[in-house]
Amino acid sequence: MERMVSESESIQNHFNGEETMRPNILLFGDSITQESFRSGGWGASLADAYSRKADVVLRGYGGYNTRWALFLLHHLFPLGLTKPPVATTIFFGANDAALAGGTSERQHVPVEEYKENLRKIVRHLKECSPTMLIVLITPPPIDEEGRMEYARETYGEKAMTLPERTNETTGVYAKGCVELARELGVRSINLWSKMQETDGWQKKYLRDGLHLTAEGNAVVFEEVVKVFKEAWLDASEMPYDFPHHSEIDGKNPEKAFQQKCL
């Protein structure tokens, strides 16, 4: 409970007169994050939900695994940053879980290393800002037949004949992600389990057996907002960065801006 209060205080400090800039919410992940600002994407929906209250910053890197993500930490989250994000989502695992010996073996990271890499990322973020809200998101489930169909449609005769990812293996990584979040005392979203609660999730949430449909993006958005609200980062309770137009007197506009700008 003490940590939740400190997160709330950190957010409010952005509006206490000492700092008038909007807080940043940073999305860090692989292609599922990179694509999240597309039409209907979960990142775009998040930016809309926090419009005029927080800036949602996209840092998604298609094809990346946690091993490669470590090389970016000091560039994206330099120590001593004067304005670290108030919240960061960490959304990796879909590529780490690629099968060793498969066509995507180059991206494979053993599950224990995956967990250790996530641990390093979380520790670095905590060093950047002890009050930062950190949310680990598991990889989504895998529709193996959907992946094979996509490969045949895309590559024809050159398509893979064996799956390069399996839902069972990805589930092991999802479990490891959730366990690590619990160990480190940070929040998590078990997307792998959540999506499979819905009948027909394979085609409803995944467009190619891995990447998200509009409905799949909606699930991520809803789960992220839910966690943010539980952690006191509720958009409905955050003030606008500058006055709402209804608060501005047409004959005396400067009055509305005195507290924020003058």
The residue behind tokens 């990142």 is 43
Chain centroid to CA 209: how far? 20
Contacts of 4 by beta carbon, 8 Å cutoff, 6+ apart: 231, 232
Q: Please, what is the angle between helix 42-49 and helix 214-230, to 10°?
A: 40
- In 10 A of CB 194, how many CB atoms? 19
Please report, for residues 93, 134, 163, 238, the alpha-carbon distance to residue 151 in angstroms, rounded to integers and kept in the order given: 20, 35, 10, 45
**Active-site pick, 31, 36, 45, 188:** 31
Contacts of 244 by beta carbon, 8 Å cutoff, 6+ apart: none
Q: How far apart are CA 165 and CA 100, in angstroms?
A: 9
Task: Supply 166's token pair.
Answer: 């399996």
* 31 is annotated as an active-site residue: yes
Rg value, the chain, Cα: 20
Residue 208 near residue 147 (C-beta atoms within 8 A):
yes
**CA distance between the termini of the chain:** 37
Q: Hey, which residues are catalytic here?
A: 31
